[in-house]
Structure 1
Amino acid sequence: MAQDLDTSSLVVDFVGGAVGHRFRSGEGRGQALAKAVGFSRGIVPEIVDATAGLGRDAFFLASLGARVTLIERSATMHDLLAEGLERARAEGGKYAETVALMTLIHGDSSALLPQLKPQVVLVDPMHPPRNNTALVKKEMRLIREIVGTDPDAAQLMQVALETARNRVVLKWPLRAEPMSVLPKPSHQILGKSTRYDVFVKARIAETTSSVQTA
């Protein structure tokens, strides 16, 4: 890990850049992530993002109407997320509506999940280092500098599987070996460079969109 990186340059931005473009383009439930967490006709899951990071997946899911709880144990990353959420809230309109569905918590997911009794848990740990991939990008190097390598990812997955009421989703590199301690997933959804290992425990009941009560 490089020690001379200036992590102060890292900003969580839900309004501009790629996240803002994705939001404005109206990418919806047909996306792999949305399918993985259980969106379908009449179903809007309630989700805990157990490894919030930059919050991009959580913001996307909230933009579809899901209530999302973001857990981040790094104090630095938590503060960056809080600032990003406040900027999006100040933008007003659909940005503010989306942020209203998001709850940010500073803490360790392994300790918090049993208390939250989540419906759906999304786990996106720092992925195994790969020499010729996105880890060479400055942003990913900065994130790794701040949050570390998530050596307890397998333990977190086990806690998630024990506590989630309906399903657990592991976001993992497309060609990476599965975690050896985990059971075989119910199914997988494959993207260009990412796959979602989905562990279904129970069907998610149909519900009205939570946007109505935001």
Structure 2
Amino acid sequence: MSTHCLILPASHLDIQKTLESLAQQLCIDFHPDNAPIPDGVIVVSEHSGALSVARSGNKDKPILVDFVGGKAGHRRKFGGGKGQDIAKAVGLNKGATPSVLDATGGLGRDGFVLATLGCNVTLLERSPIVAALLEDGLRRGLADNEISDIAKRMSLMKHNAIDWMTSTDQRYDVVYLDPMFPHREKSALVKKEMRLFQDLLGEDLDADQLLQPALVIARYRVVVKRPKLAPDLNGQVPTYRLEGKSCRYDIYALKAFGSE
């Protein structure tokens, strides 16, 4: 995580409690919200009643988790249901509704899609700040009548995925991996969010180490989301792939759904 990080007080009680916990955990003091902030600093604060992260000195929208509206809400209503590649990748097109461990939880976007389609999804996230964003998004989702039933199918664990998967006895039908991959295209707007994430998380240098423990705790398959031209995770060729416009899903099939 970048050492240049500031935490601002919040007006919402739940968010204030989260910020206090983060400040203690990360050994960061609260920054007076009326004091000047240098450009380029990562700021954790409240934005429109939600926990958010932004870089000071630019006009990009703060990063927050919104399962109710925005892109998540649009995809929930118009995203294509079980015809989506991610749904096919985890086996929903085969009549299964698997339990899913999303071991690289991030902002929970893919996990929310799978929960929308009926899966019980457990998310792992090792970054304290990203986990706090996700936890805040789940809090607001549970309070929303329209998506509360979906949010109830999602749970969060704040752990390093490699360490947790290596030590657990828990099994999941599907383990889903979407490790951060370096994005160097300077012109793409979406990469601004990725660059901020890389500052928060650092380079995902241990991503290859995710695959083997995932294969151990998955009952039926491991699904790895990758950029189209990215190398196979850990150099291991998948059983088959689903190719999309901007990414692909590598499926490591262990056995057929429904078999013992």
Query: What TM-score results when the alignment is normalised by the length of structure 2?
Result: 0.73
Please say if 1:175 is aligned against 2:229.
yes
Offset, 1:59: 0.3
Please say if 1:157 is aligned against 2:193.
no
Decide which of 199, 202, 207 is 2:252's aligned counterpart.
199
Secondary structure at 1:110's aligned position in 2?
Answer: helix
On the 8 A contact 1:120/1:164 being kept in 2, the answer is yes
**Structure with the greater relative contact order (CA < 8 A, sep ≥ 6): 1 or 2?**
1
Decide which of 118, 135, 150 is 1:98's aligned counterpart.
150
Q: Where do 1:82-93 residues align within 5 Å?
A: 82-93=135-146
Deviates more, 1:36-45 or 1:99-108: 36-45
AA of the residue aligned to 2:158: H
1:185 and 1:103 mapped to 2: Cα distance? 28
Offset, 1:91: 1.2
Offset, 1:164: 1.2
Q: Which residue of 1 aligns with 2:89?
A: 36
1:199 and 1:133 mapped to 2: Cα distance? 33
2:82 and 2:111 mapped to 1: Cα distance? 14
Please say if 1:81 is aligned against 2:138.
no
Residue ranges of structure 2 left out of the alignment (5+ in a row) = 5-39, 44-52, 54-61
Query: In the superposition, relative to structure 1, how do residues 135 and 112 fare at CA in structure 2: closer, same or farther (>3 Å)?
Result: farther
2:93 and 2:215 mapped to 1: Cα distance? 22
- Structure with greater Cα Rg: 2
Offset, 1:41: 4.3
Query: In the superposition, relative to structure 1, how do residues 69 and 30 fare at CA in structure 2: closer, same or farther (>3 Å)?
Result: same
Offset, 1:38: 1.1
Offset, 1:73: 0.5
Q: Which residue of 1 aligns with 2:34?
A: none
Offset, 1:70: 0.3
Please say if 1:48 is aligned against 2:97.
no
Query: In the superposition, relative to structure 1, how do residues 41 and 118 fare at CA in structure 2: closer, same or farther (>3 Å)?
Result: closer
Offset, 1:138: 2.5
Offset, 1:172: 0.5
Offset, 1:23: 1.1
On the 8 A contact 1:54/1:77 being kept in 2, the answer is yes
| Structure richer in strand, relative to its length | 2
Aligned pair count reads: 204
CA-atom RMSD, angstroms? 2.1
- The runs of 4+ residues in structure 1 deviating greater than 4 Å are 132-136
Query: What TM-score results when the alignment is normalised by the length of structure 1?
Result: 0.87
2:133 and 2:196 mapped to 1: Cα distance? 13
On the 8 A contact 2:185/2:191 being kept in 1, the answer is no
On the 8 A contact 2:241/2:250 being kept in 1, the answer is yes
Offset, 1:175: 1.2
Offset, 1:177: 2.1
On the 8 A contact 1:187/1:199 being kept in 2, the answer is yes
2:159 and 2:196 mapped to 1: Cα distance? 20
Q: Which residue of 2 aligns with 1:70?
A: 123
Deviates more, 1:53-62 or 1:183-192: 183-192
2:188 and 2:90 mapped to 1: Cα distance? 24
On the 8 A contact 1:134/1:140 being kept in 2, the answer is no
Offset, 1:202: 1.1
On the 8 A contact 2:240/2:250 being kept in 1, the answer is yes
Offset, 1:136: 5.7
Secondary structure at 1:196's aligned position in 2?
Answer: strand
On the 8 A contact 1:10/1:142 being kept in 2, the answer is no
Identity %: 43
On the 8 A contact 1:58/1:70 being kept in 2, the answer is yes
Please say if 1:118 is aligned against 2:172.
yes
Residue ranges of structure 1 left out of the alignment (5+ in a row) = 207-214
